[in-house]
Amino acid sequence: MNTKEYVQSLFSDYEETQGLKDFMEELQSNLDARVANLIKKGLSEQDAFDKACTELGDISVLANELSLKKRREVFEEAYMDIRKYMTNKLVAAYVVFGLIAVFGVIVAFLGFYETMWPFHRAWGADAGWPFDDSVVVFLGALMPFIATSIAGFTFLGLTQETRSHFPMSKKRAVWYTAAALLIGFGIFIVPVTYFSVRYAEDPLVPTLGALIPFVLPGGGILAYLLLTEKNRLKPWAISSNEEMAKHLEMWSDPATASRFGMFSGAIWIFAAALFILLGFLVGFRYSWLVFVFAVATQLLVQGFMVKRKA
């Protein structure tokens, strides 16, 4: 057996890659040089070969590393690239629902300016601009298109396989889509109702009442689905999450995680209620700032709990 055959026998069980091939060539070159050196010192060719092979030691560790690196590259190229899961039909569906949303925005602005324009030309006279009517027209025209896009993106996103999740069954995804559609309609119906009855004697009653037939059923369906949801993570993602969990000691304590969850829930429930209240009292133009303070408060709570745990 010569040095070339010996080196090839060492790596016969490994996947041949360019990195491994280069390493084998370099190893053979060094082995030939060592055998030649030992022969010059008086050893026979066979003894020089045996001694050089003994000095070589165990190189299987390095071979494993090279092979594992290549296998990881192949795995990432074959399974981690999102393009693997984006078929032409799926891309076309995403584009269609995106165009529906854009078309809805254009139609809504056309309706808004169509309502506003006659009064815009009359500014300076006694005629006023019916802002509420323009907003109602804008949101009413936008609602069916955006709701359709939300439903479409929800269904496509849940039934699409990703690098970390298996696809959801279409039957279950339909229920998620229905919940998203109801909640989406409810979000649009509230401001439409408010601007339609803003100057009535008690506008809050019909405004909040508009939530009942949409947000309550949608929220109930969504809560049930989330509470009965099965784990769709792929094995490698589960393993990765387990490794990450080892570094998050704070959240491994059930009591600490429970306290943080209760604090977070209280913060966001209070923020949502305050947003609606301030929206009707001072206007929705400023009430969104509540969520900025909610995020800051949650970060402070998290930082305080991490410091205590440390």
Instruction: Name the more confident of 29 and 16.
Output: 29
Listed by start position, the domains of the chain span: 3-80, 82-233, 248-310
Q: What is residue 244's predicted lDDT score, i.e. its pLDDT? A: 65
Instruction: Name the more confident of 254 and 143.
Output: 143
Instruction: Name the more confident of 123 and 40.
Output: 40
Cα separation, 6 vs 31, in Å, equals 10
Evaluate if residue 96 carries a pLDDT over 60: yes
Cα separation, 29 vs 139, in Å, equals 76
Give the model's confidence band at 300: pLDDT under 50 very low, under 70 low, under 90 confident, else very high: confident
**pLDDT tens per residue, range 159-175:** 988 777 788 899 999 99
**pLDDT tens per residue, range 181-218:** 998 888 888 888 888 887 777 777 787 787 788 888 99
Evaluate if residue 42 carries a pLDDT over 50: yes
- Name the least confident of 35-39, 144-148, 256-260, 273-277: 256-260
**pLDDT tens per residue, range 244-264:** 666 555 555 666 667 777 778
Q: What is residue 243's predicted lDDT score, i.e. its pLDDT? A: 66
Instruction: Name the more confident of 180 and 14.
Output: 180
What is the mean predicted confidence (pLDDT) over 14-24?
A: 66
CB 151, CB 176: distance < 8 Å: no
Instruction: Name the more confident of 86 and 119.
Output: 86
